[in-house]
Structure 1
Amino acid sequence: MKKIFLYILAGSLCFSACKKDDDTSPYVEPEDIATQNTYDDQAIKKFMDENYLDAQGNIKAFSSTDTADDTEKKLSELSPITLPSGTIYIMRSGAQPSSAEGKTIESTDIIKIMGRAYSYLAVNSDGNTSFQSKAAFLNTIDGTGVPVIDPMFYYTKKSILDAATTPDAAKKASYYQIPGFREALQKFKAFDNLSNEAPYNLQGVIIVPSRAAFARNPHYPYLSLSYRNKSFVFNFQIYGREARPSGDVQLPEQQ
């Protein structure tokens, strides 16, 4: 009889646990986009308080058990600058090119970027807002180890826009480009064409809220994913830049 009772109790606990999992509410898109914007800002603040930069400039989460990172500064303590779009950038001290070496990044440039980028969804649960649904967007450090040259999310060349047929939105640069990233990246200087083999020393961080990314607009499905309401965190170094050939610069009507 005692064994039967234990089996029933175990079954009840299992059912309760399963039921609790089933009751977990999925993300529900706020009707008012201003609410999502607020969630983004709150999640970004939390992210900057919970992460720091290591010796090579990689974003790392503070450990709750290891005291080795107790003296590290939060991202929020590294003089972050907020742009009008809500995009935030952090220039890492000691990791920028010298004044003689640094090259101005123009809006139409071909860039050579090393680093990682992730998309996140800012979710409010029981009054607590945080980034969830982390998904890789760019990773040259853990992947090929080779910088990416001329990514479409910075600038989409004219030939791609000319070849686009459907949807109509694909004929516009805004379908591919992340405006907040473009805006912030031009605050940095590029290195003078470092070799692909050069060890990385990441220059900083750019955090783009969804309103400065694709918001709820049609967009290119990078990696076959949707970036509706998604914010982005870029952790990067610009190995080089070069002027784009005039024949591949977007026409005004393509912007």
Structure 2
Amino acid sequence: MKKIFLYILAGSLCFTACKKDDEVETFVEPDDIAVRNSYDDQAIQKFMNDNYLDSQGNIKAFSSTDTSDDNEKKLSELSPQKLSSGVIYIVRNGAQPTSGVTLETNPEATNATQIRTMMRANYYLATNTDGNVAFTTSGVLANTINGSGSPLTDPLFYYVKKKTMTDATTDAAKLRSYYEIEGLQEGLKYFKGYANLSDGDAYNLQGVIIVPSRAAFGRDAHYNYTGYSLKNNCFVFNFQIYKANPRPVSEQ
């Protein structure tokens, strides 16, 4: 009888130990914003080491099996510039207009720039899994390159019309920060746009802007872009400005 009891006890302990070993630890968002910022910065650096730009300026992940990308430069080797906000921008050589339009991205400026852009914009959540910090979940914010194929004018996360805010029914939705990603506006200042490319012109993406969560929505309420919360998410913008002109009064 004692032997049977010992066998049952040993089996129970083994089952419990095995169960703990098999459990997948669920990521828990850190309370400390400094930890979140650190995760973002580490994951962004890893992203820049793991990706490159192809011949049209698209962000591509390095392949572990295909040697054709072995001579490509990492994003981290393309002279990325980091701003005090944590925003990183990469201006792609050979893809800028010779005499481009200066972008005034302050939405309240009297000469604010309306943009028409080909863009792939993705969002990413940086997590820490067993000490490995990386982007582990992602989604699409906008994609005219693989989607419609036509440029987009003043995407809402770049510029929200005044009427949208005045018609809003909540205090949060009456603020620009509810819609606009400030880090994108900040990064675009370091690029120039084309004045009037045709929508049918083949794209040649001008570069990359990477926005950490603290320069995006952070932990604040935001517009429902995707059906999912974008709090604590970083954003990566890969784009070309087809048209850049002063925003007409009727479009403000």
- What TM-score does the superposition give when structure 2 sets the normalisation length? 0.87
Residues of 2 paired with 1:203 and 1:148: CA distance? 16
Deviation at 1:248, TM superposition (A): 5.5
8 Å CA contact 1:113, 1:148 repeated in 2: yes
Q: Which runs of 5+ in 2 are unaligned?
A: 1-14, 106-111
Aligned position for 2:243: 240
User: How far does the alpha carbon of each residue in 1:31-50 deviate from its partner, in whole angstroms, 9 at most, with x for none?
Assistant: 10110000000000000001
Alignment of 1:80-119 (within 5 A): 80-99=80-99, 102-107=100-105, 108-119=112-123
Alignment of 1:90-239 (within 5 A): 90-99=90-99, 102-107=100-105, 108-166=112-170, 168-239=171-242
Secondary structure of the structure 1 residue equivalent to 2:148: coil
Secondary structure of the structure 2 residue equivalent to 1:110: strand
Secondary structure of the structure 2 residue equivalent to 1:37: helix
Identity %: 60
Residues of 2 paired with 1:129 and 1:64: CA distance? 20
Residues of 2 paired with 1:19 and 1:191: CA distance? 59
1:56–1:163 CA distance, 2 compared to 1 (3 A): same
Name the count of aligned residue pairs.
231
Deviation at 1:246, TM superposition (A): 3.9
1:21–1:169 CA distance, 2 compared to 1 (3 A): farther
Structure possessing the higher radius of gyration over alpha carbons = 2
Aligned position for 1:5: none
User: How far does the alpha carbon of each residue in 1:96-153 deviate from its partner, in whole angstroms, 9 at most, with x for none?
Assistant: 0012xx1111123221110211100000111110001110111101111001111111
Deviation at 1:225, TM superposition (A): 2.0
Residues of 2 paired with 1:65 and 1:21: CA distance? 31
Residues of 2 paired with 1:244 and 1:143: CA distance? 25
1:68–1:152 CA distance, 2 compared to 1 (3 A): same
Secondary structure of the structure 2 residue equivalent to 1:138: strand
Secondary structure of the structure 1 residue equivalent to 2:238: strand
Secondary structure of the structure 1 residue equivalent to 2:172: helix
8 Å CA contact 2:81, 2:90 repeated in 1: yes
Deviation at 1:223, TM superposition (A): 2.1
Name the aligned partner's letter for residue 224 of structure 1. Answer: G
CA RMSD of aligned residues (A): 1.8
Aligned position for 1:68: 68
Secondary structure of the structure 1 residue equivalent to 2:163: helix
Q: Which runs of 5+ in 1 are unaligned?
A: 1-14, 250-255
Secondary structure of the structure 2 residue equivalent to 1:195: coil
- What TM-score does the superposition give when structure 1 sets the normalisation length? 0.86
1:172–1:83 CA distance, 2 compared to 1 (3 A): same
